[in-house]
């Protein structure tokens, strides 16, 4: 595993700027991998684990950068919960850990680097050095990973009987005896203009 500083530098390049989210995200991802026994996430163990993120904010880019997991490879899942947390799952051993960034860390940051006046700069520095139990809550969890969520060929492709879009990976729903895509069944985020 590369060092914290090396990983932070990489994630900062990918993300486009250094920010508290990069520091939190890199530390969170390193702990997550450690706790599920992954030390070569981009090499020999790249297919052995899977990450679920619960927010689409700065730290998510750092988690992606450190773990090498991406949406396109299906090794990263995004759940739109708005919670600064991520779960790391070892697919070989079923070990899983959910890590949440503690809200209290913002206040605790004052005790570190008190010489820095700017609150944001203070947090940025403090998050590098604060002990992990002050920054994070770590929970052992059990996660059922559906077969349809795993990388590899889609298990199924079916056509929506209403809009005729094709649906992969068992995401279709049955409603009143009809096979539908989720937008047709539960509403869509867009409106067709023509």
Instruction: Report the interface residues with Zn ion, using CB under 5 A.
Output: 19, 21, 58, 160, 162-163, 181, 184
Considering the complex, what minimum distance in angstroms separates the CB of residue 24 from Zn ion?
Answer: 10
CA nearest to 57, candidates 28, 31, 83: 83
Nearer to Zn ion, 25 or 38 (CB): 25
Nearer to Zn ion, 45 or 78 (CB): 78
Nearer to Zn ion, 99 or 160 (CB): 160
Q: How far apart are CA 68 and CA 76, in angstroms?
A: 9
Q: How far apart are CA 38 and CA 82, in angstroms?
A: 26
Reading the block at residue 16, the tokens are: 């486009």
Nearer to Zn ion, 58 or 76 (CB): 58
Considering the complex, what minimum distance in angstroms separates the CB of residue 6 from Zn ion?
Answer: 18
Considering the complex, what minimum distance in angstroms separates the CB of residue 31 from Zn ion?
Answer: 19
Q: Is 119 helix (H, G, I), strand (E, B) or coil?
A: helix
CA nearest to 33, candidates 46, 24, 22, 15: 46
Considering the complex, what minimum distance in angstroms separates the CB of residue 29 from Zn ion?
Answer: 15
Considering the complex, what minimum distance in angstroms separates the CB of residue 117 from Zn ion?
Answer: 21
The percent of the chain in helix, strand and coil, each rounded to the nearest 5, is 35, 20, 45
Nearer to Zn ion, 153 or 164 (CB): 164
Q: How far is C-alpha 39 from the chain's CA centre?
A: 18
């Amino acid at each position: 595993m590369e060092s914290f500083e090396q990983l932070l530098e990489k994630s900062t390049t990918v993300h486009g700027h250094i920010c508290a989210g990069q520091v939190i995200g890199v530390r969170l991802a390193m702990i997550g991998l450690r706790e599920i026994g992954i030390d070569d996430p981009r090499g020999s163990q790249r297919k052995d684990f899977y990450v679920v993120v619960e927010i689409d904010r700065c730290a998510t880019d750092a988690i992606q950068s450190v773990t090498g997991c991406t949406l396109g490879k299906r090794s990263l899942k995004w759940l739109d919960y708005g919670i600064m947390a991520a779960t790391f799952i070892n697919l070989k051993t079923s070990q899983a850990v959910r890590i949440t960034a503690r809200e209290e860390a913002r206040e605790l940051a004052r005790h570190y680097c008190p010489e820095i006046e700017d609150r944001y700069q203070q947090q940025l520095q403090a998050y590098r050095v604060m002990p992990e139990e002050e920054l994070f809550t770590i929970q052992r969890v059990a996660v059922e990973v559906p077969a349809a969520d795993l990388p590899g060929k889609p298990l199924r492709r079916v056509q929506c009987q209403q809009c005729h879009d094709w649906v992969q990976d068992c995401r279709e729903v049955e409603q009143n005896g009809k096979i539908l895509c989720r937008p047709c069944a539960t509403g869509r985020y867009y409106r067709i203009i023509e």
